Structure 1
Amino acid sequence: MTEASVESRPAPGRSRGRGVAFAAAYLGWVLDGYETYALVLIGSQLVAELVGPHASPLYFGGLLAVQLVAWAIGGLCAGVLTDYFGRKRVLMYSILVYALFTGLSALASEYWVFLLLRVVTGLGMGAEWGPGSALVSEIWPDRSRGKGIALLQSGFGVGFLLATGAYWTLSATGAGQWRWMLVLGAVPALVALFVRRSVRESELWEQTDARRKEVRARVRRGGELGAEDRALSRFTVAAILADPVLRRRLLGLLVLSAASLIGWWAVSTWIPSFVGQAVSGQGAAKSVTTWIVLGYNFAGVLGWLVFGALADKIGRRWTIWGYFLFSLGAVWLLFAVPYGSLGTLGFFVFVNGFFTLGQMGWMATYPVELFPTHARGTGITLVFNTTRFIAAAGALLSGYLVSAFGGIQVAALAIGSVYVLGVAVTFLVGPETKGQPLR
């Protein structure tokens, strides 16, 4: 296979049901964000109830790590399935799985039961991202794909806002607050019904799938295959690894992904606890913490949207590089620079959210343009999920460092410096893809 991949893209105006398909993927990603941040917000409360009030931070780190591993496994499997069975079908079943098991986890009475249920929840959550991102990228116009994907990705931050709002609203429920948060997480089951009834499959995938079936039929008849047809006939993972261009892109993207995911999961997930410690002892400390965390999540939504606009304006690579650079600075700003007031602390948190959440917009923008349609789902989920195993270790390591050093700052500064990898590698990954058609 050559640098140019094997499929051609239909005219954007012929894509069917673009708005409905986007809405389905967006709602799935919003509710994925809700599930993710709900666990961050209720983690200490549920650990205190299920383990004990003086439980080690490692119990919370363990929840994050297990969810990350399950997310990675579910995502990797779904990436392959979405290339063979379609974007719509995998999207629907993934939403249904994580919705149902989130609701079941609200009934857990022991930590290890909860942990097991979160494994299955994580499998479904991980499976949702790949088909949704592939579907939207294949129906969106080339000239504004960066904005479209950024809008999709911003749904994750909107889910964070919903989780924070729900946490605040349900605070009056007392010790059962964390259970009600999870009950609300069962709502996405309704989205799965919407996907099944309303969303149409990507034309680009349908054309590729038809061609793959034709190639397989030729193989059964003993026909000859050219290089492009052999790529279609291979297992998707093997097709990527066998192509030197795609293999090189995959390795570079994995480095960027490691920087993004380790940086966020091992650092930013501690921000609610960090802010809570900073405002403890002050009047309405819980309310102040909630407002600052809301600001963090709102900043992340803005960061995603600005990322998309810049990616379409100045290009993917310069935008990615800039966000990594400023994410590195934002970590040091928040955890190393003394703040003299709550206003200053809130500003530091806002800046951190804009860049550390916003920089993850590259993960659904750039990779979809570097892999061909017949292996796009596989390629983007390999990038997005393989490094979650490393991020899971980072989450455990950060929990250990918080315990060892008696504070969050040292752990955050040590692990947060991983963003320098993104600064160093961005321009080595692949070509600029701004405005180019998908293949």
Structure 2
Amino acid sequence: MAPYFLRNLVPRKESRENARPLLTVLAGLTWVQWAQFLSGWLAWTCDAIDFFSVSLSVVHLQKEFGKDTHTITTSITLTLLFRSVGALIFGIASDRFGRKWPLVINLILVAILELAAGFVSTFPAFLALRALFGIGMGGVWGLSASTALENLPVEARGIASGFLQEGYAVGYLLAACINLKLVPAVDAGWRALFWTAAGISFFAAGVRALVPESEVFLKAKEEERKRGKVRSAGEKTRVFGKELAEMLKRHWLLCIYAVLLMAGFNFLSHGSQDLYPTYLQRSKGFQPGDATIATIIGNCGAISGGILAGYLSQHIGRRLTIVIFVCIVAVFIPLWILPTSFGALSAGAFFVQVGVQGAWGVIPIQLAEMSPPAFRATFPGVAYQIGNMISAASAQIEATAGNSLRATVLNRETGQMEDVPDYATVQGIFIGCVAAFVIVITILGPEHHGSHFEKHKPAFEEGAARDDESSTRSSESVAGNAMADRQSPDLDLKRVGPTSPVEASASSEKV
């Protein structure tokens, strides 16, 4: 008999047997639900385009500012460090005021800063803008995930999570295509990539401004009106602050677990992506165009893996899916680092990113279901970005290690042997260690598969911090609501069942 912590990776059968067929669920979605999901997806895609503009331009930035790789990657580190600030600011604004306008403002801020980065002429100014850019970027993921997922039926959230998260890979893919075709063709060079990214972010802000507010917040206002107790903005803010403090008091251990989980995931992602184009150029001797094409191939694998994993997670569970796809990463590390031919290295990039972004494809719904329901923009967003902050030095760690660990390779242009940083060995060790950590911490953590988090109080209502039934309910009770959802697919703010302080405390200790 397998140990309990392994058997518990698979959701109980009762939580899945009453689910409606996916195609039936998708066919029943309204245009508003589709628009809300796509606006969240587009916002997250913009985040990736903006972020990877630097990763794809490292070599160009070295020439522009006369700095080495380690120094240039400081800009990536600063962006990641400041993202947690943005996640806190915009996450609180979203849980307090709604999903729509905080995300619109967030995207406009990102677009302005990205546009400005394309005009700088000194490296200190570039660093300052990228630090501010981190604040703007930090809010996008939490707001995008809550916007995209909370308005969808439970049965569609697994595959929707995969599609949503792979907006990141699509963004990286678009940035790589722009870098491959536009940057070499215009006089502005690398700056054109930043300006194009800014334009796409402005477009995403406009799309979100046209899409209605989340149904959860609209119904909360309607409930207030029906009760005849429409409170002032100041009173709602006071209640929100009180409930936020109560949530942190009750769920502090869950907060720590979520941060550790996201630190591992961000190390895995940034360790395999941020320095990848530089790795192919410096350690394998490929031209920038070939490195960009390999990046595109890797992101095709990422998109495939994320969507597949999201779909599988609806059937075999969130954590088991994550473990399977991280194991895929480990299996294909040799193909990632050992070959010297373009074809083999591209295949390694494809399959490693199938694993990396496959595991990531489960994260939006796993964090949303794990979160205290009233704070499902603040909690996932802050956990995600603090994890990002912890992993902020991924590129610099690899760059520094590459300076110490050297290799001799053939320069494809001169035909001479050349001493270069051994990024292949560095990345193999780095990704392998992180993959092992992610598997362990995923297995040890909680899972609330099929949680109806949309049925709970919004964060500006009294008792929202204690309205955490989704984090204590067993898988069997989840199934009890599945049939009811067939007859009433509309969102409902009623609590499904009471939660005692003892139960809530137990849920926070579950990790």
In the superposition, the TM-score normalised over structure 2's length comes to 0.74
Aligned pair 1:408/2:423, yes or no?
A: yes
For the structure 1 residues 171 and 385, does the alpha-carbon distance in structure 2 shift closer, same or farther, using more than 3 Å as the test? Answer: closer
Match of 2:310 in 1: 308
For the structure 1 residues 343 and 16, does the alpha-carbon distance in structure 2 shift closer, same or farther, using more than 3 Å as the test? Answer: closer
2:325 to 317, 320, 323: 323
Q: CA RMSD in A?
A: 2.9
Match of 1:7 in 2: none
Question: Distance in 1 between the 2:383 and 2:197 partners?
Answer: 27
Q: Alpha-carbon deviation of 1:158?
A: 0.9
Structure with bigger helix share is 1
Question: Distance in 2 between the 1:340 and 1:14 partners?
Answer: 48
Amino acid across the alignment from 2:430 = I
For the structure 1 residues 202 and 305, does the alpha-carbon distance in structure 2 shift closer, same or farther, using more than 3 Å as the test? Answer: same
2:202 to 189, 192, 197: 189
CA contact (8 A) 1:66 1:119 kept: yes
SS in 2 for 1:182: helix
CA displacement 1:77-112 (0-9 Å, x = unmatched): 211111111111111011000111101111000011
**After the TM superposition, which of the residue ranges 95-104 and 409-418 deviates more from structure 2?**
409-418
Match of 2:58 in 1: 43
For the structure 1 residues 167 and 211, does the alpha-carbon distance in structure 2 shift closer, same or farther, using more than 3 Å as the test? Answer: same
Match of 1:334 in 2: 336
Aligned pair 1:259/2:264, yes or no?
A: yes
CA contact (8 A) 2:99 2:214 kept: yes
SS in 1 for 2:424: helix
**After the TM superposition, which of the residue ranges 355-364 and 183-192 deviates more from structure 2?**
355-364
CA contact (8 A) 1:212 1:232 kept: no
Q: What is the aligned-residue identity percentage?
A: 21
CA contact (8 A) 1:15 1:203 kept: no
**After the TM superposition, which of the residue ranges 340-349 and 169-178 deviates more from structure 2?**
169-178
Question: Distance in 2 between the 1:372 and 1:401 partners?
Answer: 40
In the superposition, the TM-score normalised over structure 1's length comes to 0.85
Amino acid across the alignment from 2:36 = A
For the structure 1 residues 358 and 46, does the alpha-carbon distance in structure 2 shift closer, same or farther, using more than 3 Å as the test? Answer: same
Match of 1:225 in 2: none
User: More relative contact order in 1 or in 2 (CA 8 Å, sep 6+)?
Assistant: 1
Task: Could you tell me which runs of 5 or more consecutive residues in structure 1 were left unpaired when the two chains were aligned.
Answer: 1-10, 222-228
Q: Alpha-carbon deviation of 1:171?
A: 4.0
Q: Alpha-carbon deviation of 1:305?
A: 0.6
SS in 1 for 2:150: helix
Question: Distance in 1 between the 2:448 and 2:162 partners?
Answer: 17
Amino acid across the alignment from 1:48 = K
Aligned pair 1:144/2:156, yes or no?
A: yes
1:89 to 94, 97, 101: 101
1:423 to 433, 436, 439: 439
CA displacement 1:345-400 (0-9 Å, x = unmatched): 21111111111233222321101112243211111112201112211133332222
Q: Alpha-carbon deviation of 1:15?
A: 7.4
Task: Could you tell me which runs of 5 or more consecutive residues in structure 2 were left unpaired when the two chains were aligned.
Answer: 1-24, 406-420, 457-511
CA contact (8 A) 2:264 2:437 kept: yes
Aligned pair 1:127/2:129, yes or no?
A: no
Match of 2:449 in 1: 433
Question: Distance in 2 between the 1:390 and 1:247 partners?
Answer: 18
Question: Distance in 1 between the 2:124 and 2:374 partners?
Answer: 40
Match of 1:168 in 2: 180
Match of 1:200 in 2: 212
Question: Distance in 2 between the 1:14 and 1:329 partners?
Answer: 39
Match of 2:378 in 1: 378
SS in 2 for 1:46: helix
Match of 2:416 in 1: none
**After the TM superposition, which of the residue ranges 356-365 and 297-306 deviates more from structure 2?**
356-365
Q: Alpha-carbon deviation of 1:14?
A: 9.1
For the structure 1 residues 43 and 277, does the alpha-carbon distance in structure 2 shift closer, same or farther, using more than 3 Å as the test? Answer: closer
Q: Alpha-carbon deviation of 1:207?
A: 4.2
CA displacement 1:53-78 (0-9 Å, x = unmatched): xx322212201101101222211221
CA contact (8 A) 2:83 2:389 kept: no
CA contact (8 A) 1:317 1:432 kept: no
Question: Distance in 1 between the 2:307 and 2:451 partners?
Answer: 17
Give the 5 Å matches for 1:333-372: 333-335=335-337, 338-339=338-339, 341-372=341-372
